[in-house]
């Protein structure tokens, strides 16, 4: 019997109030290390445009890049559920979303992640109907950097908070199986996590979400000016492997994130 984490397993963890971890990954070497650390999930994220390619945003990342890195991660994966990003403007309509989701699923991804708001509900519904599980991403959506202007906390005003909450409910209703909340106030993340039945993964959104994700290069201390929500897990650790394990254990125990990593 396979010991690979599945969507039903994540749903069960949410029901049982068990925390789970997610780490971004782009290659086979780190995929093996994350598996050894017993993380439940891996995100093949389009942040590779910044941490690997040196761009100042995720916008230049292409489908070809995402397919290549997804295939690389899959080759060394034995346990983790793999989420993979559809990159910028690769899901502007239902037909395009289905064709590109097919490519990532055939590359070995288990779940497709898309960024946006409640207007993505028809895309989510279309993908769900053809068997492509969807992770929705709300709050700070880096693919929209040219429209939003800068990286900031989303949901601080009552209007913005209500809009994000309503989008979360709408996207679950459309069929999303996981939700990522990036850089939203802790109180809003708690409210959403309690309101939806699907697992919620937070990044910079406080301790009340079901799971936590960090960019691999952030958590091993390679980012020169890390965001407030990042902790360097390399501090005091003898190896990268032990740092990754420390992150996974800290998430499961509920000791990360702390107040200093949280927006209120």
For residue range 215-230, list pLDDT tens digits in order: 999 999 999 889 999 9
Q: Using alpha carbons only, what angle is made at residue 135 by residues 103 and 97, rounded to the nearest 5 degrees?
A: 40
Q: What pLDDT, on a 0 to 100 scale, did the predictor assign at position 204?
A: 96
Place of tokens 């780490």: 23
Instruction: State the fold for domain 7-261.
Output: TIM Barrel (3.20.20)
Tens-digit pLDDT profile for residues 1-45: 579 999 999 999 999 999 999 999 999 999 999 999 999 999 999
Residues classed as catalytic = 182
pLDDT at residue 86, rounded to an integer: 98
Rounded to an integer, the average pLDDT of 158-167 is 97
pTM: 0.97
Determine the average pLDDT of the residues in 57-67.
97
Segments making up each domain of the chain, as ranges: 7-261
34, two tokens? 């994350």
């Amino acid at each position: 019997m396979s010991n690979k984490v599945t969507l039903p397993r994540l749903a069960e963890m949410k029901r049982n109030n068990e925390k789970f971890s997610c780490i971004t990954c782009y290659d086979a070497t780190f995929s093996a290390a994350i598996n050894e650390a017993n993380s439940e999930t891996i995100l093949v994220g389009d942040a590779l445009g910044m941490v690997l390619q040196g761009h100042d945003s995720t916008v230049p990342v292409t489908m070809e890049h995402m397919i290549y890195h997804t295939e690389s991660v899959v080759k060394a994966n034995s346990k983790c559920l793999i989420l993979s990003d559809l990159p910028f403007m690769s899901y502007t309509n239902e037909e395009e979303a289905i064709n590109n989701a097919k490519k990532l699923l055939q590359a070995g991804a288990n779940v497709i992640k898309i960024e946006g708001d409640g207007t993505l509900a028809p895309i989510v519904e279309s993908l769900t109907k053809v068997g492509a599980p969807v992770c929705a991403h709300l709050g700070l959506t880096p693919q929209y950097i040219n429209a939003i202007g800068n990286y900031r906390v989303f949901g601080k005003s009552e209007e913005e908070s209500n809009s994000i909450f309503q989008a979360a409910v709408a996207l679950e209703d459309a069929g999303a199986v996981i939700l990522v909340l990036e850089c939203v106030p802790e109180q809003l993340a708690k409210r959403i996590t309690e309101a939806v039945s699907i697992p919620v993964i937070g990044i910079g959104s406080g301790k009340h979400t079901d799971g936590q994700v960090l960019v691999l290069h952030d958590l091993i201390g390679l980012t020169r000016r890390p965001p407030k929500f990042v902790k360097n897990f390399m501090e005091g650790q003898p190896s990268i492997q032990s740092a990754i394990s420390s992150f996974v254990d800290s998430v499961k125990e509920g000791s990360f994130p702390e107040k200093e990593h949280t927006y209120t």
